[in-house]
Amino acid sequence: MESIEITVATGRHPTVVDLTSEAAAFVSGRGDGLLSVFVPHATAGLAIIETGAGSDSDLLASIDDLLPAQEGRWRHRHGSPGHGRDHVLPAWIAPSVTVPVIGGRMTLGTWQSLVLVDTNGDNPTRRVRFSFIAG
């Protein structure tokens, strides 16, 4: 297995960061197998969605709707007010996703991008692990 960790700038506000080109570069030339993408943080997740046509903002809005960052709502009280919801997020939007790779290319559909979903403004940089297992 080949495995690397990259660092991603996520800033001080909830954000969706496109990782597709980093993942594509990692698997390039590797033949057939599975790409595992993994975020070693307790307040972020991974998703495969269309980016650039509003869905990134829609996703953040749906997170605010379903898991409100409301002070007093969550038992977890470390960090900024409402930060407890950031800790529930990865149960719903998991920090692990697997993508098949054929001939060194991810089998993503035309409108699919791999993104990091990070609602936690307390951590401005994140690590993401790419691992490739040949088959």
Contacts with a second copy, residue ranges (CB under 8 A): 1-3, 32-34, 36, 38-42, 45, 47-50, 53-55, 57-59, 61-62, 66-67, 74-78, 84-85, 87-88, 90-100, 102, 107-109, 111-112, 117, 127, 129, 131-135
When the beta carbons of 4 and 25 are compared against a second copy, the nearer one is 4
Angle at 12 between CA 91 and CA 80, to 5 degrees: 65
Closest separation between CB of residue 57 and a second copy, Å? Answer: 5
Select from 8, 5, 21, 3 the least CA-distant residue to 117.
8
Closest separation between CB of residue 114 and a second copy, Å? Answer: 10
Closest separation between CB of residue 104 and a second copy, Å? Answer: 12
Structure tokens given for 106? 């991810």
> How many angstroms separate the CA atoms of 16 and 34, rounded?
23
Q: 46, 94 in Cβ contact below 8 A? A: yes
